Structure 1
Amino acid sequence: MTLLFDRHRRITSPALAPADFDGRARGPIELTIGLVNNMPDSALKATDVQIARLLQQSAPRHVRLRLHCFSLPSIPRSHAARSHLAQAYTDIDRIDGLGIDGLIVTGAEPIAARLREEPYWSDLSSIVDWARTNTRSTIWSCLAAHAAVLHLDDIERQRLAGKCSGVYECVKVRDDWLTDGIETPLKVPHSRLNAVNEPLLAARGYDILTRSDEVGVDIFARSMPSRFVFFQGHPEYDALSLQREYMRDIARFLAGQRDDYPRLPKSYFSAETEAVLNAFEARAKVRRDPTLAAELPGLTLRTDLASGCAAQALFRNWIGYLGQAE
């Protein structure tokens, strides 16, 4: 399925009409964006909506976007997910003939201990090779970013002592068109088990754009012929994405599908909700029963999350870069 949207025809969402960069009248530009969605089945449709809405909200009025969604065939999927892909996605074998200007490649849920052992490694590394000469710019998110730098420069990700999950303040390290006009610190969601070494990235020619003292490098980039942009975090996440992941991990613990109880996402839930969840954790470790999750009350988030602000600014600049190359 192809989504085509501009100020005259929009996807169904509560989004506001996008504005021009500087208010001046401009001739129409049409850009073709590809989304390679590698997220697990539980987040597949939500990611479609998040990215489509984010692109629409970020695009200026003179830019018309055509969005094609793809999935790697080597990622294991449930019957329901395969049905969704068959109805709503474009066959990835067609990607070469669609004139993709910009590509977005999401992360995936890790299955193997090493990236090169993942069932989708060959397909994902082929996308890296294709994108470097067939796009103007490609965004690599989370695990996809780790896979891309491993394939390109043999930079291995490093396992963290515990999962990095929460909303972190990240500051600009250098000026770049991607972060132009963005005030820092940016509040960026992170959700990952691994990290890449910042000094090694810099030594291999990557530009470090934003970082956090707590979680290290956030956004980095490299020019090939295509400008590759790498997100270790998830600026595209909506306000409830981390909550959904946390509740999923609690359910897996209660069902005996994981041994360790998940950590609370940092700087995410309200103080009252954190107290409730800490008490629930103590009960869950004593009574490991899947039905216990039904006893959780409603959860509230912190009021200062500013969800989506950083993402809209980043994607606005990214779309602007693609449009200038026209």
Structure 2
Amino acid sequence: MPITLPSDLPAFAVLDREGVMVMGDEQAERQDIRRLRIGLLNLMPKKIQTETQFARLIGATPLQIDFQLIRMSEHETKNTAAEHMETFYRPFTEVEESGEKFDGLIITGAPIEHLPFEEVTYWDELTRVMDWTQTNVHSTFGVCWGGMAMINHFHGVPKHLLDQKLFGCLRHANLAPASPYLRGFSDDVLIPVSRWTEMRADEVEAAGLDILVGSDEAGPCLVEDKAHRALYIFNHFEYDSGTLKEEYDRDVANGTPINVPVNYYPEDNPSRQPLNRWRSHAHLLYGNWINEIYQSTPYDIAQIGQG
């Protein structure tokens, strides 16, 4: 079944052309089943690119999704038109004050990983968001810096700066084949990585959390936090085929020292077209997450957070 999006959201036309099942609000209201409400708290500067990437993944499931876009209340983006933000996004304070419930919430990464958490301008509001998920969201998915922020807030696990950027497509091991979130996964998985920080396996495990996917080179990747009904992923299954190329080309153009992303271009040659070798596992992971939400969330959405 389709994902429900405003018909004038840019992602609607993009996904419709790609064959993803999308539906406008008026058509969706004529159906009798309850849509799953999935929110995207979008902290990335390129809002349209990010919302399209996540809508593509959660819109590929056989369930109908009511996709809600949320932003930090006081933070103003410099990379996305104000008209787009005003039309499609709601500030978190509005969502919070309305008392709304969500079946799922994705908290994206943000290009601020060099800063201590407490120095991020919207950190106080983000901690309110994370606490709010415990009463108003059935399952939360923290991505990259968003996942690091959640695991730090709930468990005090620190992030550590790396000497050089982890950048490329790295092999990760499936460490929990029986996990419902890894149904259909191969024994090892290629995942795009782009970060200057890491979470360490011993500190994650000392917090009582389960590492589902990880690698010797890149450390923990996917972590389950049962107590907070959350998943944390520190890498980027949602990336498009050309996202790492865009980051590499940007740094080269700006004169920023950067290594060619490993295992991304054929023969590691940036003049060649990169190949997408993670798309199927990306759909598996987010499809499994949506399915787990569907199987366990209350039919009466008002009951979320009450038990």
The 5-angstrom pairing of residues 1-326 of structure 1 reads: 4=4, 11-12=12-13, 13=15, 14-16=17-19, 28-40=33-45, 43-57=46-60, 59-60=61-62, 63-78=63-78, 80-96=80-96, 97-110=99-112, 113-174=115-176, 175-224=178-227, 226-253=228-255, 260-271=256-267, 273-274=269-270, 299-302=272-275, 305-325=276-296, 326=298
Q: Shift of the alpha carbon at 1:269?
A: 1.2
State the percentage of identical aligned residues. Answer: 26
After superposition, give the CA deviation of every residue in 1:183-231 in whole Å (9 maximum; x if it has no partner): 231111111100011111111111100011221111001012x411001
Counterpart residue identity of residue 210, structure 2: D
Distance change in 2, residues 1:107/1:80 (3 Å): closer
Q: Shift of the alpha carbon at 1:75?
A: 3.4
Q: Does structure 2 conserve the Cα–Cα contact (< 8 Å) formed by 1:145 and 1:231?
A: yes
Q: Distance in 2 between matches of 1:311 and 1:94?
A: 31
TM-score, L = length of structure 2? 0.83
Counterpart residue identity of residue 214, structure 2: R
Distance change in 2, residues 1:73/1:112 (3 Å): farther
Counterpart residue identity of residue 267, structure 1: N
Q: Shift of the alpha carbon at 1:82?
A: 2.9
Report how many aligned residue pairs link the two structures: 275
Match of 2:27 in 1: none
Distance change in 2, residues 1:233/1:80 (3 Å): closer
Distance change in 2, residues 1:89/1:200 (3 Å): same
After superposition, give the CA deviation of every residue in 1:142-201 in whole Å (9 maximum; x if it has no partner): 111111111112111000110111111111112311112212311111111000111111
Q: Does structure 2 conserve the Cα–Cα contact (< 8 Å) formed by 1:188 and 1:234?
A: yes
After superposition, give the CA deviation of every residue in 1:259-316 in whole Å (9 maximum; x if it has no partner): x411111111122734x5xxxxxxxxxxxxxxxxxxxxxx4114xx324211100011
Match of 2:26 in 1: none
Coordinate RMSD, CA, aligned: 2.1
Counterpart residue identity of residue 152, structure 2: L
For structure 1, which runs of at least 5 residues remain unmatched after alignment? 19-26, 254-259, 277-298
Q: Shift of the alpha carbon at 1:101?
A: 0.6
Structure label with greater radius of gyration: 1
Q: Does structure 2 conserve the Cα–Cα contact (< 8 Å) formed by 1:112 and 1:118?
A: no
Counterpart residue identity of residue 105, structure 1: I
Counterpart residue identity of residue 320, structure 1: N
Counterpart residue identity of residue 251, structure 1: A
Q: Does structure 2 conserve the Cα–Cα contact (< 8 Å) formed by 1:222 and 1:228?
A: yes
